Amino acid sequence: MVLIVQEVKVTRNYQITIPKAIAEKIGLKVGDKVLISYEDNEIKIVPKKVNLLDMIKEIKPKLGREIKDVDKEIREILNNIVEKLE
């Protein structure tokens, strides 16, 4: 296990920037979501895993379109998921 410690500043909107070295180590990319938890005076930030239910909710409003269009959309989403897992 590699320990990386880097100081970051909390902005007036309570935002922080995840240092690039840490983001790369855990595979975060621009647009990814993270989960933040607090326990025993420690904050933990972990990448949000891909959720199939979220993916279906994203696709559901588009089901009125042609099946071939929906199929194309599903393939694009699945390709994005595969890229995140690599």
Question: In order of start, what are the domains of the chain with their CATH numbers?
Answer: 1-48 (2.10.260.10), 52-85 (no CATH)
| pLDDT (tens digit per residue) in 10-48 | 999 999 999 999 998 888 889 888 989 988 999 988 888
Closest among 31, 27, 65 to 46, alpha carbons compared:
27
> Where are the strands (E) in 3-41, listed by range?
34-39
> What is the pLDDT at residue 65?
62
> What is the pLDDT at residue 33?
87
Backbone torsion region of residue 71, taken as left when φ is above 0, otherwise alpha when ψ lies between -120 and 50, otherwise beta: alpha
Residue 53 or residue 6, greater confidence:
6
Could you tell me the CA-to-CA distances from 54 to 18, 36, 58, 62, 68 in Å, in that order? 24, 18, 6, 14, 21
Q: Is the pTM of this model over 0.85?
A: no
> What is the pLDDT at residue 67?
63
Strands 42-47 and 34-39: antiparallel
